[in-house]
Homo-oligomer: A and B are copies of this chain.
Amino acid sequence: MIPKNHPRYQSLVLRDKVKNAFMEGYLADTGMIAHGRGETFDYLIGEKTVDSAYNAIEAAVATILLAKHPVLSVNGNTTALALDEMIELANETDSPIEINLFYRTDDRVDKISQLFKDHGYNNILGSNTDDLYYFDKIKNPRATASKKGIYIADVILVPLEDGDRAELLKTAGKKIICIDLNPLSRTSQMSDISIVDNVVRAIPLMTKIAREFKNKDEVFLQNIIDNFNNEDNLKESLNSFKIMKL
């Protein structure tokens, strides 16, 4: 047990969740290393949702609400850190959730499907029983897309996505919204909307904003999207990082 008065309590709780996900067999070993990278970026951004992230979140929610077929992609790290939060966002925005793993194995997919089922979400896409399409000619397990989900999606939310997969989705003509603490990652750089924030803060905030935006008309939402520039916003995110002075 992590003592509640530990100066890094919140961070250690998340670390524990990632560790447990690995022990339970649905997170790849490199998912743990990726979490460590994220810890440092989060530390340097002050472990809070900065203004530029908030603006990206608003544009992201407006984009999802105006999309024809939005899909919320989940992998091992997202499942470990924000399973219930993803279900809430899916319900609030009427978007299906799809399993989308860089290191896809039937076992990991089954475990993640079961976890979502245990938490009340029954029809997850991208499962082993789903009708899958592959984005490339060889049946690359890294390139799966559910025929009812990512394959026909116009907008995809990818929290914590690998650069190669993000590129694949982008090449397939999808509008990409990523959540990535590294503003310089390939995923952040190639996404249409890059939310530089921790998924544990960004996803519940998206749900809250979706609840508010659902009562707004299309002009309001389109205006938010039109006023958002991802390149400028990424530059602003970069300026939020600082090495605190001694």
A-side residues, CB < 8 A to B, are: 15, 18-19, 22-23, 29-30, 32-41, 44, 182-184, 231, 234-235, 238, 241, 243-246
Contacts and interface: CB of A to CB of B under 8 A. Distances in A.
A85 B37 CA distance: 25
A35 B35 CA distance: 10
The SS class assigned to the A binding surface is helix
B30 A33 contact: no
**In this complex, which of A15, A32, A33, A246 has the most chain B Cβ atoms within 10 angstroms of its Cβ?**
A33
A34 B39 CA distance: 9
B36 A32 contact: yes
A53 to B, nearest CB: 15
Given A33-B33, A33-B36, 18 more contacts: A18-B33, A19-B29, A19-B30, A29-B32, A33-B35, A34-B36, A35-B36, A36-B37, A36-B39, A36-B40, A37-B37, A44-B44, A184-B243, A184-B246, A231-B246, A234-B246, A238-B245, A238-B246
6 contacts: A33-B39, A34-B36, A36-B36, A37-B37, A40-B41, A238-B245
Contacts of A44: 44
Nearest to A19: B29
Contacts of A32: 29, 32-33, 36
A40 B185 CA distance: 11
Contacts of A29: 19, 22-23, 32
A33 B19 CA distance: 9
A237 to B, nearest CB: 9
Nearest to A242: B243
Residue in A234, A243, A245 with the greatest tally of chain B CB atoms within 10 Å = A243
Contacts of A241: 243
Nearest to A15: B33
A166 to B, nearest CB: 15
A32 B22 CA distance: 11
Contacts of A30: 15, 19
A150 to B, nearest CB: 26
A241 B244 CA distance: 10
